[in-house]
Amino acid sequence: MSILTIPVTDFIRKFGNYAESLPTIEEIVLTRDGRPFATVKATPQEKNRRLLSFFGIWKGTELDDDKLWKEVLTRHNRRHPIKL
């Protein structure tokens, strides 16, 4: 994750863009006259909601193949796959 530092006026002008990307970054530090003024973070509930939106994203793709994952989780020096 990253920390984004921007002027408070830029945050006000582009609030929608920053609000959309907020769950994917750690925090936004707002500056006034070049000095840190405030910190904006997404709530844990919002971050979890964003994470749950990706549930099942591989369904129906080539990554949704048990044979593929069995091969990936099998190390070359082991006879049995790793159990997670």
Residue 79: phi and psi, rounded to 5, are: -90, -25
pLDDT tens-place string over residues 46-63: 888 888 887 777 788 888
pLDDT tens-place string over residues 5-33: 999 999 999 999 999 988 888 999 999 99
Spell out the domain ranges in the chain.
3-55
Note the pLDDT of residue 16. Answer: 94
Secondary structure letter of residue 24 according to DSSP: G
User: pTM, whole model, 2 decimals?
Assistant: 0.60
Instruction: Please check the confidence at residue 81 and state whether its pLDDT lies above 70.
Output: no
Q: Which overall architecture, per CATH, does domain 3-55 show?
A: 3-Layer(aba) Sandwich (3.40)
Instruction: Report how far apart, in Å, the C-alpha atoms of 47 and of each of 51, 68, 82 are.
Output: 6, 30, 30
Distance CA 55, CA 35 (A): 40
Give the strand order in the sheet containing 35-40.
3-7, 27-32, 35-40
- Bridge partners, 40 (sequence order): 28
